[in-house]
A = this chain, B = another copy of it.
Amino acid sequence: MPPTDPAPATFTHSDFPKNAWYAAAWDTEVNRRLLPRTICGRHLVLYRRTDEVCVALENACWHRLLPLSQGRLDGDDVVCGYHGLAYNPQGRCVYMPSQQTINPAACVRSYPVFEKHRFVWVWTGDPAQADPGKIPDLHWNQDPEWAGDGETIHVHCNYKLVLDNLMDLTHETFVHGSSLGHREIAEAPFHVTHGPNHATVTRWMHNVNPPPFWSMQLGRSVPCDRWQIITFEAPSTISIDVGVAPIGTGAPQGDRSQGVNGRVLNTVTPETDTSCHYFWAFVRNYKLQDQSLTTRLREGVHHVFSEDELILEAQQRAMNENYGRTFYNLNIDAGAMWARRLIDERIEAERTWAQEAKEYAAR
C-alpha cells in the first residue's frame, strides 16, 4: 500500500538537521491526555508521567502499528487501544495479552525530551548527543523581567519559508500595512553579522513616525527611533528584539529607558516537507502585571501572523505548482540566506558524518 501523503517519501532527502532540539509543544499542551504530534516526519505521542516529567514515544504500536495516542495511560505506561500491549516511558513493552513471556525486542522508539523556556523540546537525532545545553535560547519566555504569551500555529508550508519571512521584515510594509507597516522599513539600511551558529540582522529607522501598533504601546505618537534586531539560532529559532523610543532619548546609543521594548520569540519545527509547527510568543519588559495588555498583544500578534500565514501557504502552493523552480534573492534576503546556509552546513555535516561512519564500518 502506498503512502497517501507524499511527504514521508520526500523526507529521504531530509532538509533539516536531525541532531537538534525541536520544540514539539508548549508546556501546557502536554499533560495526562495522549497528544499525537508529528515532528520532522516522525509520528510521536507525548504525555506527562505521574511525576510531571514529559515523555515522547513513537506513535505506532510494535504489534499492529495502531497509534498509541488512541489508547490510554495506565500510570506512567501507555496501553494500546487495540490489544492492550503496554509500554513504559522508555518504550519497552511491559504487557502482552494472553502470554506470559514478553518478546524482548518488543518496543517503540523513545525520544530524548527536555522542558525549557516553556516549551517541550524533542531531540530527533542520535540520543547520545542530546545535550540540553544545546537548546536554543528563548529565556525571555520564562524570565521574571519579561511578560507575555503566545501560541502554536500549524502552517501548511515548509519550515524554511517561515524563517525566510522572519529574517526579513521588509514584508511588514506590504503584508501588515495596517498594523506594523512602514514605508521606511523597506527603505532603511540594515546590517548583517553571523557566527558559527547565529546570524543577526540589525535595522534602525531613525526619526520616523511609529506605525499604529507602536504608537499604542508608547502611549503617544511622537517621532521615534525604531529598531528590529533579528537573531537566528540554528536550526530554526529566531528571537527578534523590537521597539521604539522618542528621538533624542538615546536609544541608538543604548538607553532604551524612554521607549518600549518587546521580543518576538519564534521557533519553527518541521512536520512534513510542506508543513510545520510554528511556536511564537510576544513578550515585553514593561507593564508586566497587565494581563489585559498580554491578552491584547497575543490577539494582535495572532492577527498579524494570520496575514503571514495566507502568504506562506500561497507561496508553498506556488512552489508545488512550479516544482523545480529556484528562488531568486534580493539584498533584503541576506539574513535569510545566512540562516539557510547555517542549516545547510549542519545537514551537510550530518551527511558527511554518516558517510564516514559507513565507510569505517565497512573496513
Contact = CB atoms under 8 A, between A and B. Distances in A.
B171 A330 contact: no
A360 interface: no
Contact of A98 (B67, B97, B190, B317): B190
Interface in A37-85: 43, 60, 62-67, 70, 79-85
Given A60-B318, A158-B1, A321-B43, A332 B83 contact: yes
Interface string A262-300: 000000000001100000000000000000000000000
A173 B82 contact: no
A207 interface: no
Given A98-B190, A98-B330, A322-B65, A317 B174 contact: no
A80 B323 contact: no
Contact of A10 (B2, B274, B330): B2
Contacts of A66: 311, 314-315, 318
Given A66-B311, A315-B65, A99 B3 contact: no
B330 A96 contact: yes
Q: Is the interface of A mostly helix, strand, loop or mixed?
A: loop
Contacts of A274: 1, 4
A331 B98 contact: yes
A188 to B, nearest CB: 8
A273 to B, nearest CB: 5
List the number of copies, as a whole number: 3
Contacts of A62: 328
> Residue among A65, A66, A189, A311 with the most chain B CB within 10 A?
A65
A325 interface: yes
A323 B1 CA distance: 7
B321 A82 contact: no
Contacts of A8: 321, 323
Nearest to A101: B331
B327 A5 contact: no
A149 interface: no
